[in-house]
Each structure stands twice: as structure tokens, then as C-alpha cells.
Structure 1
């Protein structure tokens, strides 16, 4: 338990700070530029990460939204309930309603993930053609989608916006935003809840590190610069439209730390 507590304090000082949240979008864009430059200059060494079947890609990135969703679900629920009880002195019912309102941010995130990934696939199908070798004497076939092309051992050439850059940037920014609630929440009074929250927090921090690392690997080994940049920009735009614009409005899931003005550089709890 002591190790968990020390680890939580160390990570909180680095990832929950307002400065980290301000710099993270620029860090992600910088990784796109740097990784693409190294890839185009053929300066990237061969590593297992260039294989799409590597463990982190198969068991984490391919289901990145599921990992993010199921770890944020208890974290948002518990911390929002405690925040409402300790800071606003809400009763149990009103605190539960506050938690449910904040949990709706996960539904928004799910909608963002689904709409954007479907849009990316539509654009790739719309802009692509299939290069498939047909047998001698057999008429050349046209395939309407990437899936049909691959089923016939073809290669689909379309504008493939990086879904990894989009989703990993969006998940990373969302997790860091949600962890900001710890700036205004005291968990020292209840030992059991402290262990639960610290465990979830440390898990989210390590998940964030995996997302950033795999984001870097994507920029180093896959896609063209324009595809990666556009994917990352869509992820950043989705984060900005929600946490920096919509969630400031009354009819929204709200921010992890209430009463935070858009112009606030500290983005911290208003005491």
C-alpha cells in the first residue's frame, strides 16, 4: 500500500498538474512532426514495434477505447460522487445524479470514437482503388471497399487517415482531463476509498504512458505525414470541442472540476 501511495503521489505531481494538460496537445503534435521526419529520413531502426502484431498493438491499441472506457468508468463515478459530497455537500441522491451526469462524458466519447472511425473508413473507401492481380484470361474486377479488396488478396490504395493517431491522442487527452479532479478532491479520510482511487489513478497513468508510447510508434513506423497529422488534429479537435467548449455549458456532462472558466490558465478548482 505504501508503494501505491508513493507512486500515486509521484504521478499526481506530474500528470495532474495544469501545466501538463496545457502542454500535452503540443507534445502530441510535436511527436507527429518528429516521428514523421525520422521515418521519411529512414532514420528509424528496426524494432518489434514496426510489426502490427506486436503485443501492445494487438491487446491494447486495437481495443484502446475499451481500455479507456472501462478504467474511466469507475474512476469518474467514484471521484465525482466524493467530490459532490465533500465539496458541494450534496445528499446521496444528488451526488449520484452528479456522477451520472459526468459519466455521460463516456457516452460522448463513444460517439466521437464511432463517428470518426466510420468517417475515416468511408473516406478511405471513397478515395481508394484496389490493386489485385487477376488470373490470365479473367476479367479485371472492381472492388467497392477495402474489405472486399483484401478478401480477394488485393492491396487497397486510399487516403488512410491514421485512426491510431486520432484515437490515442483523444484517449490520452481525455484521461488527463478526467484525472484533474484529484486537484480538488481530498481522499485522506477514508483508507479504503484512497486505495481504490489510487489504484485506478495509477492504472490510468500507466495506460496514458502506453497510449503516448504507441502514438510515437505510429508516427515512426506507419502512415504518411498528412495521414498522421490529420488523425491527430481530429483527436485534438474532438477534445477541444468537448472539454474546452461544450463541457463549459450548462447542458453538458460538465468538467471534472466545476466552475472552471474557459480563459482559466490554471484550470483548477475555484476555492
Structure 2
């Protein structure tokens, strides 16, 4: 992210298809990144966790990680929107000429043909970081999953693994594109930090506690290793 941001500041790349916000990956994937992540992780978590534990209650508890993720996504995007609102002003042109003080919101400003300028924390940097790390955390359970190749469960899990792997590749690739083409360095740093905080605050801290959705099922040896780290 830092390398891409420095490249953008010091030696901007020429305009390309990926620098257009209307490109297919941005419109149909990144704009709805949490929906893609949610919809693919839901069956993956349900199938793998039930296969390993056979406990419906534990599966429901683990699926609540998606509700937590939804709350993190909602709260963070709301925070970003408020920060942009309270630090912004409306101008007549992208060059920040002719401030329009009569327009007090971004929506009103854009509705009147103005240009709103505020501290716009990168929602892409936040969400792509958080989604990619969450997928990696949940897919760590794969080394525990043993299924019969001829069983329909094997085909279902394999399909989900391929889809999640492809999705993670898109998130990483578009994160790099964001670093190279969009926002300034500080906006991307803050966005990435929010994503890292959301991931570490859950999987690195809260999910280690008993009163939480918990981590993906692990073998006794891994649990022992985890307990050692906690001490």
C-alpha cells in the first residue's frame, strides 16, 4: 500500500481501465465487497464447522462472526462518512475554487452541481483489508477438514474454497489498484488501519474469549499452542 501510494504521488501512472471507477471489478465486486464476502463465507463456515463439530449450536455461534463483520462494516463506513462531512466544504470546481457556504452537506452540494472536498478516508482500503483477512482466518480450518472425494460435501467445500480464493485475489488486486490510483496517502493509511483494527480486535483479541463467536475449530495441539500464546 505504501509503495503504491508513493508511486501515485511521485510518478503517477497513466490513465487506464482500472483507474476508471466504472470498471467491472469496482462496480460489481468492490462496491459490494462485504456482500460477496458474507454470501460465500456463510455456507463455507456452516459446512466446515458442522462437518468438524456436528453441533448446530456451535455453527450458529460461529456464523455470528458474519453479524459482527456486518456491524464493523456499518459502523466504520458511517464514521468515514461523518468525518468527510464535518471536515468538508462545497466548491464550484474540483480545483476547490469558489466555496459554496450555503451547501451544508455532500448530497446537497452534488445535487447543485458542486464538488465536496473533505477528509475522505478510503473505504476501499478498509473493506478490502478486512474482508481479505477475514477470509484467510476462516479458511485456516481447511487443514482440519477431511472429506470423501466422492461425497457431495467435498464438492461443495471445494467449490467454495475456489470461489473464496478467487475473491481474495480480487480483493488484494483491487487494494493495490486503490493504492496506485485513488485517494491520498493519509486517507489510505487510515482506511487500512481501520481494516487491520477490525480484524485484530476480533480474531486477535475478542474471539479468543469464551463470550464471543469464537475461532474456527482447531485440533487439540493447535488449541494448546493458542493457549500458550495467550499466557
* TM-score normalised by length of structure 2: 0.91
Report SS of the residue matched to 2:159: helix
The residue number in structure 1 matching 2:118 is 158
Change (3 A) 1:166 1:181: same
Moved runs in structure 1, 4+ residues, more than 6 A? none
Is residue 54 from structure 1 mapped to residue 23 from structure 2 by the alignment?
yes
**Equivalent residue in structure 1 for 2:77, among 96, 117, 135:** 117
Q: What are structure 2's unaligned runs of at least 5 residues?
A: 94-99
Q: SS of 1:197's equivalent?
A: helix
Superimposed CA distance per residue, residues 56-101 of structure 1 (whole angstroms, 9 cap, x where no aligned partner): 000000000000000000000010000103xxxxxxxxx1111100
Shift in Å, 1:132: 2.7
User: How far apart are residue 42 of structure 1 and its match?
Assistant: 2.1
| Aligned: 1:222 with 2:182 | yes
Q: Which residue, 61, 66, 74 being the options, matches 1:106?
A: 66
**Gapped regions of structure 1 (runs ≥ 5):** 1-31, 86-94, 134-139, 266-271
Aligned length: 220
Checking the alignment, whether the CA contact within 8 Å between 2:49 and 2:217 is kept in structure 1 is no
- Corresponding residue for 1:3? none
1:37 aligns with 2:3: no
Q: Which residue of 2 aligns with 1:196?
A: 156
Q: What is the CA–CA distance in structure 2 between the aligned matches of 1:219 and 1:172, rounded to whole Å?
A: 16
**Alpha-carbon distance between aligned partners in 1 of 2:227 and 2:197, rounded to the nearest angstrom:** 16
The alignment status of 1:261 with 2:211, answered yes or no, reads: no
What does residue range 177-216 of structure 1 map to in structure 2 within 5 Å?
Answer: 177-188=137-148, 191-216=151-176
Q: 1:43 to 1:141 in 2, by over 3 A?
A: closer
Decide which of 75, 82, 104 is 1:144's aligned counterpart: 104
- 1:79-94 map, 5 Å: 79-85=48-54
Question: Post-superposition shift, 1:196?
Answer: 0.2
Q: Is the 8 A contact 1:248 1:262 kept in 2?
A: no
Alignment equivalent of 2:201, drawn from 217, 235, 241: 241
How many Å apart are 1:46 and its aligned residue?
2.5
